[in-house]
Amino acid sequence: MGDEVREADGEKRVEAPTNQDNLIMEQQRQIEEEISEAIPLVGVKEDLLCALEKEYAADPIYTMKAKDLSSKYSSIRRMRPDGNCFFRAFAYAYFERLLTNKDEYKSFYDIVSKSKDDLIELGFPQFTLEDFYDTFMEVVERIGGGEMAQDELYELFNVTGQSNYIVVYLRLITSGKLQRDADFYLNFIDGNRTMTAFCHQEVEPMFKESDHIHIIALSAALNVGVRVRYMDRGDSAQVIAHDFPEGTTPAVHLLYRPGHYDILYEH
């Protein structure tokens, strides 16, 4: 689109064209936000096969893979697709497990209760950590004290402020683990970024999507096994599984579809 020349009071002036691409992109972003916000942060538990067959009714490849998944899992719980889905799914699934697993709770509590001091030692500012840590530990302590029922956990995770504070703190724990063991984790990063720069850009900010490196670091930091089922368009009828860290017994089961994580429940 060329510049427009207009006459006003006998004078000519050049009016810069509107950047239509930017307007379209902004409209698309707003639409995506509205769609996302209409979806609960944490959804209800659904029958896996019914949910996925309905979603992929016109997709024979994904329908085939849904049937394979249904032989191993009975239910699915969807997360809001806002870039925080891995961390929120991990937190909800594991906290849900801790409601009825007191032995596992103790070892988890020992790790997370020391996590703020570990992060401060790495150079994280205390005033940044304080509120996130306090909110996170308040939920953890309520779970351990038997003060929280399943429906209360669900309600809490759908309150944006509290739910997002939990996500932020898990992002900080992940960042701390990556920076503490940077020599190892740099092998997973493309380009010439430092680990600190990677964490500031890709791990700590909200709404940044997660990849293998986030899962490896968080599961190792908290000593919680995670099994991720990868549902893709490959020819195999089976939905491939990867365990993090390798060789551990998974406590959390997640379904990954390009760009998104949901919670899976075994039979």
Active site positions, annotated: 82, 85, 260
Query: By C-alpha distance, which of 183, 182, 223 is closest to 203?
Result: 182
The number of CA neighbours under 13 Å toward the Cβ of 129 is 22
- Show the beta-strand stretches assigned E in 16-84: 42-47, 73-79
Is the Cβ–Cβ distance between 97 and 104 less than 8 Å? yes
The CA distance from 204 to 149, in Å, is 30
**Residue pointed to by tokens 């890709």:** 202
Q: Which two tokens stand for residue 136?
A: 């996170």
Q: Could you tell me how far CA 30 lies from the centroid of its own chain?
A: 21
Is the Cβ–Cβ distance between 87 and 170 less than 8 Å? yes
Torsion, CA 172, CA 83, CA 54, CA 42, rounded to 10: 50
Length reported for the chain = 267
